[in-house]
């Protein structure tokens, strides 16, 4: 029992004082991160002004309390994951571009979403996706390199703003993929950039990253991004 209590105390301490993960978040707007509009999908908003937003989102009159519709993408990089405090990205596929607080060697990233039992429409939770880094400089030449590279217009084919932007033909490098299990009961999950990718990148620092959502759990209208984070083992 004492051991179990110590484990619970450690988890509570980490949640309260170390943001749950114990890792610095370079994407957080509180640390200086910001959204890159040209690399970010549209926000899902109420189509008919005369229709209350909560009816469009399937919420009963007596429990409608949070202004969910139309919240800006900055909500996805803000450290608040209370019910309804998310960015409703339009559609089931899209992206969120983030300028990091400072250029950094990305070693892991985290995706947050409230557990299924806490949400009214779990189908809007992200299911799978990828994290890409914007290669502003040439990458190290590595023999037998297996890095995945593509231009932004190709990777972000579901994000219209990128097509006529300065990033249209910028190179993106795949840092990692994720699968978020909405039934796990966990409010977040951290994914590591593989050692192989880190080795080939050779200490490359990224100033801008793009979270690409490949699919959600069955909502074609919108995808709720509660929070995404970017971490580094690089010491300050």
- Could you read off the pLDDT tens digit of each residue along the chain, which spans 236 residues? 577 766 666 655 555 555 778 899 999 999 999 999 999 999 997 554 455 544 555 555 544 444 445 789 999 999 988 888 899 999 999 999 999 999 999 999 999 999 888 887 899 999 999 999 999 877 777 666 789 999 999 999 999 999 999 999 999 999 999 999 999 988 899 999 999 999 999 999 999 999 999 999 999 999 999 999 999 997 66
| CA separation for the pair 179, 199 (Å, rounded) | 23
Indicate the SS3 state at residue 209.
strand
The predicted structure's pLDDT at residue 190: 96
- Per-residue burial over 117-133, b if 16 or more Cβ lie within 10 Å, else e, is eebeebbbbbbebbbbb
The predicted structure's pLDDT at residue 236: 61
| CA separation for the pair 108, 165 (Å, rounded) | 28
Would the pTM of this model clear 0.75, i.e. be above it? yes
How many C-alpha atoms does 183 have within 13 Å on its Cβ side? 1
């Amino acid at each position: 029992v004492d051991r179990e209590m110590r484990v619970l105390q450690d988890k509570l301490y980490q949640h309260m004082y170390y943001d749950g993960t114990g890792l610095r978040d370079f994407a957080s707007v509180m640390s200086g991160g910001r959204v890159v509009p040209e690399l970010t999908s549209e926000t899902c908003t109420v189509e008919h002004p005369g229709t209350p937003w909560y009816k469009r989102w399937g919420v009963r009159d007596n429990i409608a309390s949070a202004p969910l519709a139309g919240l800006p993408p900055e909500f996805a990089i803000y450290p608040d994951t209370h019910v309804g405090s998310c960015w409703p990205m339009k559609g089931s596929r899209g992206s969120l571009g983030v300028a990091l607080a400072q250029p950094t060697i990305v070693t892991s990233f985290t995706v947050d979403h409230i557990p299924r039992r806490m949400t009214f429409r779990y189908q809007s939770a992200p299911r799978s996706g990828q994290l890409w880094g914007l290669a502003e400089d040439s990458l190290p030449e590595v023999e037998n390199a297996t890095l995945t590279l593509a231009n932004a217009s190709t990777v972000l084919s579901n994000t219209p703003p990128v097509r006529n932007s300065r990033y249209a033909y910028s190179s993106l490098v795949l840092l990692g993929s994720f699968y978020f299990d909405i039934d796990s009961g966990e409010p977040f999950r951290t994914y590591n950039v593989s050692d192989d990718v880190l080795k080939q990148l050779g200490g490359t620092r990224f100033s801008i990253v793009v979270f690409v959502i490949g699919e959600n759990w069955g909502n074609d209208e919108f995808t709720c991004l509660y929070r995404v984070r970017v971490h580094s083992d690089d010491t300050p």
